[in-house]
Amino acid sequence: MNTDKYCRVRLAERIDFADDLAVFRFRPDEALGFTPGQYATLGLEVDGRERPLLRPYSVASAPHEDVLDFFVERLEEGALTPRLWDLAPGDSAWVRRRIVGLFTLDTESGGRRRHLMCATVTGLAPFISIARAQQHALATGARPDGGEPHRLVIIHGASYPHELGFYHDELAELDRTTDWLRYVPTVSRPREAEDWTGETGRVGDVLRKHADAEGCTAERAVGYACGHPQMIEHAHAVLQRAGFDDEHLHEEKYFRA
């Protein structure tokens, strides 16, 4: 197998949230630069193939970290994810050296510093990367773009609370301790989660309520949606009715509906 374009990575840790949902934390053999929000092409060697079996995944970790985190849902019919579930710490995989993608923080929209971010389950990954990167920049004395911190409003939807993963606690803590991040988790099947006290319904059901509360108007904010294509369509429809134009709406679909 020709691996000239790839960097070897080794599984440092795997954290399972459910039978079909986990974070895979890989440590690369060399430093790989990227912009928060971009995706890496992860692959495994398969007998008889000239190159790794590859699939793109948004990077959930920030560029300053020494690992690449991937928030992955297992698809039984998928070619790669069942093989990922066979990995144990220390096992190796491959990542394309070029980490790419345009789904990054939009800092070119006329000085807008409010960012309304909508995600379903694993679609949270690019927003985690962006939030961690800003937290690190502020902790080390940097100011994003030389100005005030970007205001991030993250609405994270799932069917059940456990699908929010440990990111729920991480973002809830940032919500509690900073003035630049607001985290709104919501579950669509609350009857099966008796202890849940947060928002209920799909992302699109609670989007306008929190956009209004956080001052994320069409004149002041940029909208993003990542994950399930139906959520993306619904979220964009809600924001378009609120006056957002296509220039200030960004999307990253994880699969075709």
* Ranges in the chain annotated CATH 2.40.30.10: 6-96
Q: What is the pLDDT of residues 204-224, one digit of tens each?
A: 999 999 999 999 999 999 999
Residue-level pLDDT at 146: 75
Quote the pLDDT of residue 133.
97
Which residues of the chain, if any, have pLDDT below 70?
A: 1-2, 48, 256-257
Q: Are 123 and 227 in contact (CB under 8 A)?
A: yes
**What CATH class does 6-96 carry?**
mainly beta
- Within 8 A by CB and 6+ apart from 222, the residues are 106, 109, 112, 114, 115, 116, 248, 249, 250
* Residue 69: closest CA among 120, 18, 15, 121: 15
Of 196, 117, 197, 101, whose CA–CA distance to 153 is shortest? 117
Confidence (pLDDT) at 249: 97
pLDDT at 256: 59
Cβ contact 186:140 at 8 Å: no
pLDDT at residue number 217? 97
Which CATH architecture fits 114-253?
A: 3-Layer(aba) Sandwich (3.40)
Q: Tell me where in the chain the CATH 3.40.50.80 domain(s) lie.
A: 114-253
Cα 90 versus chain centre, distance: 25
CA distance 45 to 17: 26
- Tokens 């940032």 correspond to 174
Angle at 12 between CA 28 and CA 33, to 5 degrees: 25
Question: What does 113-158 look like in DSSP terms, one character per residue?
Answer: -EEEEEEEGGGGHHHHHHHHHHHHHHHTT--GGGSSPPEEEEEEEE
Transcribe 21-51 into DSSP letters: EEEEEEEESS-----TT-EEEEEE--TT-SS
Residue 58 contacts residue 39 (beta carbons within 8 Å): yes
Task: Give Rg (Cα) of the chain.
Answer: 18
CA dist 251 and 28 (Å) reads: 28
| pLDDT the model gives residue 134 | 97
pLDDT at 257: 52
The model's pTM: 0.95
